Structure 1
Amino acid sequence: MPHFPQTNDPMLVPQRFPSQFSMQTPGAVGGNLGQDPLGVQSKQLMQGPMVKLTWTFPSLPEEPVQPEIPFELRNPLSPNSVGAQCGENSVYVEVMEDFFGTGQLLMASMVYTPQEYSNGVPIVRSSGAVVSIECHYPRMHNVSSNVLVPTWVPYAATKVAVERLVFSLKLMTDEWLFERPSNQYFLGDIVNIEASVKTYNHVPLRVFVDRCVATVSPDVNSAPRYSFIENNGCLVDAKFTGSSSRYLPRSQIDKVQFQLEAFRFQQANSGLVYITCILKAVPVATATNSEQKACSFSPNGWVSVDESDQVCGCCDSTCS
């Protein structure tokens, strides 16, 4: 750097460069770096922008907002792919190969565990399943956990079972909905009679009218007397008198309904008729036979209200 003499004159300010060196601008004519003895490149003073910048950083596009839509997760429906039929000593089972109803066929096994696909694909498209099948059978006889010493049914057990059976014989209205509030009838009327049994702790029972007799007094052995159901359930009034008396189809298995045309005894002036019937009930599983039946007489012969009419074949003779 050149040496400048020091002075105390306030008007003289030390200069960093000699005055004969003027500032050069990059576009000035005659500017030549080779002519700058000090090798200093001239600079231009930076000034602020003349127009305000409007550029900003780009932002990501906003995703459209999905509107609310009604949606409810549907639970899969049971494909009903297992069927079972219970027998007395065996169970017959059928299982559809499309067990879940998804088109994925299963191996024939009651306990099914899904296996991976071949070629090492570690996925399955079904779940394991175990199907339990139970068969429930009605009891045919009284069952107890205690050992019964005698081989016969004790009288006490029979007595208790009989006491829990409640039989009823009612006069019913024409609609068969209610018990008839009056027991007065006129000749030509139809008497609707319903026999029933309440089972309580017993297995389901079917009730029968074994025999019925009409008398002029409460004594069943008095005379005159008229037996209009006999021979273990044969309603003979239609056969003897040509009436329309008959059994009706069963509305319930523990009830039996029959219609009887009103009548009077020719030699009695009181107009009273007492009807006494013997009822019995047997398990529903027991088939009807000549001793357990309800038969009506028709122009085409005897007709049963339960099963085959063949059980009524003995009504013209002696059933038992």
Structure 2
Amino acid sequence: MLDKLNIVKQRFDEVSDLIIQPDIISDQKRYVQINKEYKELSELMKKRKEYITLSGNISEAEEIIADGSDDEMVEMAKMELDEAKERLPQLEEEIRYMLIPKDPEDAKNVVVEIRAGTGGDEASIFAGDLYRMYTKYCEGKGWSVSTVDYNEGTSGGFKEVIFEVAGEDVYGTMKFEAGVHRVQRVPQTETQGRVHTSAATVMVLPEAEEFDVELDMQDVRIERTTSTGPGGQSVNTTYSAIKLHHEPTGIIVSCQDQKSQHKNLEKALKVLRSRLYEAELAKKQAADSEKRKSMVSSGDRSAKIRTYNYPQGRVTDHRIGLTLYDLGNIIDGDIQKLIDELMLAENTEKLKENSELF
């Protein structure tokens, strides 16, 4: 383990030197990459320091016990040895996870798209519930959430809602939410009191930087319209809403959230880039059979990933067979326990795939 950590230290020393070089500082893209690597390696260096300290404590304690000349020192050494030996396997496991090659997408911000599926008005209401759940979860983590576009349902909720989330390692966390979510409950629109099953689809797209996707604006037709929705200043009066038509792919993106046409165009272009980037990413993942083997974060839009059952108060994640009887808190934004279990399942899979590293 220490040999591997020493190799990492060599890279940390290189990166520490690179990060202060003027040519790196002047190249924004390169500087962001190096700075990110520096932060990740710094965490590993803390673990390396702890590992060296623990190993030294074990050796020292074993020497004192072997010598046996001072009973009090031997007793203290035994206690220290027990503590160190209990911590060492945990630390090694933490280091193994940190040594797994990172998915470069994980650090990206995301564009989330929620669309009502089967179930009519109830599906739109459920899509609204999911939007509220994710908004509360993201805000609880200190991430910023910004709406791009929405199409309200006739009885509440959304037929479709698109929003951006910005923060630290957002895609690495939110990617597990991609897929079909089902709800089983008595709809607000149902008079007979029967339980119905409705669905909504969640897409989580890693936000593409300008240098990730070369977007030829000659391929983009821009349509400017008035905003729709509840009345108010600028709505239905100014041509601030934007609709982009990407001719080569047929992708259409709308944005009417901001009063400023320029800001709506900026947001719409961001979503268009992310959709184009995600399409390329999907091709890459399809080619990588090992990566696609993991159903945990395959992002298969047609896969039914989770069921929210209101009569029983339970939430079941079908990918890992996890059922939690805590629906009220989960739908109120407390989804961290689900994400933790999904991350654990994926990391365990990665450990198996990268077993030769250890």
> TM-score w.r.t. structure 1 length?
0.22
Higher relative contact order (CA 8 A, sep 6+): 2
Higher helix proportion (structure 1 or 2)? 2
> TM-score w.r.t. structure 2 length?
0.20
